[in-house]
Amino acid sequence: MPTGSPGAGSPDQVQVTASGPLPADEAAQVLDLIRRAAEEDGVSPLSEHVMLHLRYGGDPRARNVLLWRNGALAGYGHLDPTDPVAGPAAEMVVDPAARRRGLGLVLGRALETEAGPAGLRLWAHGDLPAAGRLAAAAGFQRSRALWQMRRSLQTHIGRPQFAVGILVRTFRIGEDEDAWVALNRRAFARHPEQGAWTREDLNMREREPWFDPDGFFLAERDGHLVGFHWTKIHGGADKPAGNGGHGHEPIGEVYVVGVDPAERGTGLGRALTLTGLRYLRSRGLAQVMLYVDETNTAAIGLYESLGFAHWDTDVMFSSQAMVDREATAQSQ
């Protein structure tokens, strides 16, 4: 990997290393760097998916790119090469104390190298101006946006109306995992990220301090799972805010809502969403948030009808190689 100075006249000695899963000491340094960046920027620089792998050992298929400046960790990049359709995706962060030295561009180029000729998709959380400038300098184009939406839990929340034959209960640890993974796969068959979740992805989340089976609602018909609403509560001042930069006030999240394709059009998704909102309000929370693709107008319309409004945006940028690859695929 490249070494040397990031810019003319700079005395800094810069080294970039890339590897599979990180040893515990390096993972701890990365997590501390992420904490400092989140405090500086008001938004977590990395997604929950990456944070889980840093805390629990990492996906052996992923590449961890570390940028060192004068022997100290100054940047981190995570490359996920596992999506055979959309191609490699990455997230990155530079230590606030080491910014404006060209290190972001060095780290971005290293991630491109690791991604190879397929090109690279790069997430930027919070749509910060600095991220847009860096993407432009690297020749990346804006290619996708993920909305964060919010609403108050102190205003009216409608009563959920379930179709005849639907029973709702909460998640049972040690019993529902496999059935839920299968339902999630059916519900998100067209969603390359959520639909690819495995039993291990669920297991990691069950180990997180925020996991609450009482806030994980399952809908059954004739004893079979047909829908779910998994809620999440982000902690207060004594706990990390996690993905989204929610500040120090606790906030609820519509974490995932999924419905079996056979139940679509029955109002099940709306009813499950209302069930979760009422639960989060019962926990004393003032606000709730969720994430939705900017292009998913049907879902945005549903959430707007439930009182949600646009709050913030995460942006994906694509390298020129990725743009060319996608254009070729669309023309065939």
- What is the pLDDT, as a whole number, of residue 244? 43
Q: Is the pLDDT of residue 268 over 50?
A: yes
Which residues touch 229 (CB under 8 Å, ≥6 apart)?
216, 217, 254, 256, 257, 272, 273, 275, 276
For domain 155-285, the question of CATH label 3.40.630.30 is answered with yes
Q: Is the pLDDT of residue 331 over 90?
A: no
Q: Which two tokens stand for residue 143?
A: 């290619």
Q: Is the pLDDT of residue 3 over 60?
A: no
- What is the pLDDT, as a whole number, of residue 329? 62
pLDDT bracket for residue 58 (50, 70, 90):
confident
Q: Is the pLDDT of residue 41 over 90?
A: yes
- What is the pLDDT, as a whole number, of residue 193? 81
- By mean pLDDT, which of 8-17, 85-94, 234-243, 257-266 is the weakest? 234-243
Q: Are 231 and 252 in contact (CB under 8 A)?
A: yes
Q: Are 314 and 294 in contact (CB under 8 A)?
A: no
Question: pLDDT tens digits, residue range 302-322?
Answer: 999 999 999 999 999 999 988
- What is the pLDDT, as a whole number, of residue 240? 37
Q: Is the pLDDT of residue 69 over 90?
A: yes
- Across the strands, what pairs with 144? 316
Q: Which residue has the higher pLDDT, 302 or 8?
A: 302
- What is the pLDDT, as a whole number, of residue 59? 85
Which SS3 state, helix, strand or coil, does residue 256 take?
A: strand
- What is the pLDDT, as a whole number, of residue 332? 58
Average pLDDT over every residue of 5-18: 74
pLDDT bracket for residue 235 (50, 70, 90):
confident
Which SS3 state, helix, strand or coil, does residue 42 take?
A: coil
Average pLDDT over every residue of 157-169: 97
Distance CA 194, CA 202 (A): 11
- What is the pLDDT, as a whole number, of residue 2? 45
Provide CATH 3.40.630.30 ranges for the chain.
3-146+316-331, 155-285
Q: Are 92 and 122 in contact (CB under 8 A)?
A: yes
Average pLDDT over every residue of 69-85: 93
Q: Is the pLDDT of residue 10 over 80?
A: no
Mean pLDDT estimate for the chain? 91
- What is the pLDDT, as a whole number, of residue 241? 39
Question: pLDDT tens digits, residue range 84-98?
Answer: 788 999 999 999 999
Q: Is the pLDDT of residue 258 over 60?
A: yes
- What is the pLDDT, as a whole number, of residue 209? 94
Which residues touch 283 (CB under 8 Å, ≥6 apart)?
215, 233, 252
- What is the pLDDT, as a whole number, of residue 91? 97
- What is the pLDDT, as a whole number, of residue 328? 67
Diameter of the chain measured on Cα atoms:
73
Distance CA 95, CA 91 (A): 14
CATH number of 3-146+316-331: 3.40.630.30
Q: Is the pLDDT of residue 284 over 50?
A: yes
